[in-house]
């Protein structure tokens, strides 16, 4: 799979969302080119069937319905083949197959639970069933699906949008009933700033969960999935009250297998484009380019 685009929000690629710009800019972080977004999928069931469902694209839905009627798991479709392969390989490889199947089944169980009790992501935007009622569970379920897709080499490129740029979601998990977007226009009000800080911390907890999930996957080399992943976490606005798109805080993680040092803080010059980081990542992934977007050069990750 060339790439896997995921979201924990709805999808809108038409209409005006902010300052005359198309909603596509708020709801997409993956683009085929400067004019063509690659829309993400927010429904865990649809992502799961795309990754692990049996049959071709046109056959998956019918096979899923057949499994539902028989009350079977996707693992049941693989069991005979997996048992045959297991008889031909050594103990360590059998352990890996079992780990793979166990991981798939665990995610499938969580999706089935959310399909029984889940709610729409956004009441104003129609979404299919299967979205977990808990926002935190939705994020972590998508994180685990993405991690398993990367660990099994189903794809080597993935994006996950936790919320679109204008999200006004409230956060019952951390007892904040106000909308995020409303709070972001804080006017330096201390109570609003404190709530924004708690929301930021909540999102960073999901990042920590992602890093832990990637560290838990150990590869043949003895290194972890995180060691072999270049992971970028951030947002498109520094201060929601000013709507400024400069001075952006960005967290980079992983890359240990390439000798990248973590735990460093770099304060870059004011005119440094984000595209400089993207240019560096392209080269490290074996696809060097002379320029990307408005880049002015590569951003070193080693100092």
Residue 230 phi/psi, 5-degree rounding, is -105, 110
Residue 136, number of CB atoms within 10 A of its CB: 17
Confidence of residue 243 (pLDDT cuts 50, 70, 90): confident
Q: What pLDDT is recorded for position 115?
A: 77
How do residues 102-126 score in pLDDT, each as one tens digit?
888 898 889 888 877 655 545 554 4
User: Who wins on pLDDT, 224 or 130?
Assistant: 224
Confidence of residue 133 (pLDDT cuts 50, 70, 90): confident
Confidence of residue 129 (pLDDT cuts 50, 70, 90): low
- In degrees, to the nearest 5, what angle opens at C-alpha 299 toward C-alphas 298 and 300? 110
The mean predicted confidence, pLDDT, of the chain is: 87
Confidence of residue 127 (pLDDT cuts 50, 70, 90): very low
3 state SS for the chain:
CCCEEEECCCCCCCCEEECCEECHHHHCCCEEECCEECCCECCHHHHHHHHHCCCCCCCHHHHHHHHHHHCCCHHHHHHHHHHHHHCCCCHHHHHHHHHHHHHHHHHHHHHHHHHHHCCCCECCECCCCCCCCCHHHHHHHHHHHHHHHHHCCCCCCEEEECCCCCCCCCEHHHCECCCHHHHHCCCCCHHHHHHHHHHHHHHHHHHHHHHHHHHCCECCCCCECCCCCEEEECCCCCECCCCECCCCCCEEEECHHHCCCCCCCCCCCCCCCCHHHHHHHHHHCCCCCCCCCCCCCCCCCCC
**Mean pLDDT, rounded, for 142-171:** 94
Residue 269 phi/psi, 5-degree rounding, is -65, 155
Q: What pLDDT is recorded for position 124?
A: 53
- Residue 29, pLDDT > 50, answer yes
Q: Pairing between strand 158-161 and 4-7?
A: parallel
Helix 91-117 crosses helix 74-86 at what angle (to 10 degrees)?
180
- Residue 69, pLDDT > 70, answer no
Confidence of residue 245 (pLDDT cuts 50, 70, 90): confident
Q: How far is CA 280 from CA 104, 160, 227, 231, 274, in A?
A: 33, 20, 17, 13, 10
Cα–Cα distance measured from residue 255 to residue 225, given in angstroms and rounded to the nearest whole number: 9
Cα–Cα distance measured from residue 190 to residue 198, given in angstroms and rounded to the nearest whole number: 12
Q: What is the pTM of this model?
A: 0.87
In this structure, are residues 24 and 40 in contact, taking their beta carbons and an 8 Å threshold?
Answer: no
- Residue 203, pLDDT > 90, answer yes
């Amino acid at each position: 799979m060339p790439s896997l685009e995921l979201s924990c929000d709805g999808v809108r690629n038409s209409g005006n969302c902010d300052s005359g710009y198309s909603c596509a800019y708020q709801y997409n972080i993956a683009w085929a080119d400067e004019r063509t977004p690659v829309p993400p999928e927010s429904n865990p069931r649809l992502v799961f069937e795309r990754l692990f469902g049996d049959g071709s694209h046109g056959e998956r839905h019918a096979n899923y319905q057949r499994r539902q009627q028989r009350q079977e798991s996707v693992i049941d479709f693989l069991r005979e083949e997996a048992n045959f392969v297991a008889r031909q390989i050594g103990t360590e490889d059998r352990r890996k197959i079992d780990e793979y199947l166990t991981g798939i089944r665990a995610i499938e169980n969580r999706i089935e639970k959310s399909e029984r009790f889940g709610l729409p992501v956004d009441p104003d935007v129609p979404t299919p069933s299967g979205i977990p009622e808990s926002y935190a569970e939705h994020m972590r379920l998508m994180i685990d699906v993405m991690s398993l897709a990367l660990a099994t080499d189903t794809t080597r490129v993935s994006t996950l949008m936790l919320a679109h740029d204008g999200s006004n979601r409230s956060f019952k998990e951390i007892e904040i009933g106000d909308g995020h977007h409303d709070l972001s226009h804080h006017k330096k009000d201390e109570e609003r700033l404190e709530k924004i800080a708690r929301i930021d911390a909540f999102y960073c907890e999901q990042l920590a969960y992602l890093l832990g999930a990637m560290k838990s996957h150990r590869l043949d080399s003895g290194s972890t999935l995180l060691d072999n992943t270049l992971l970028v976490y951030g947002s498109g606005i520094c201060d929601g009250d000013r709507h400024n798109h400069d001075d952006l805080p960005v967290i980079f993680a992983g890359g240990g297998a390439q000798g990248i040092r973590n735990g460093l803080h770099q304060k870059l010059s004011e005119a440094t484009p984000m595209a400089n980081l993207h240019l560096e990542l392209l080269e490290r992934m074996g696809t060097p380019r002379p320029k990307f977007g408005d880049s002015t050069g590569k951003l070193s990750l080693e100092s």
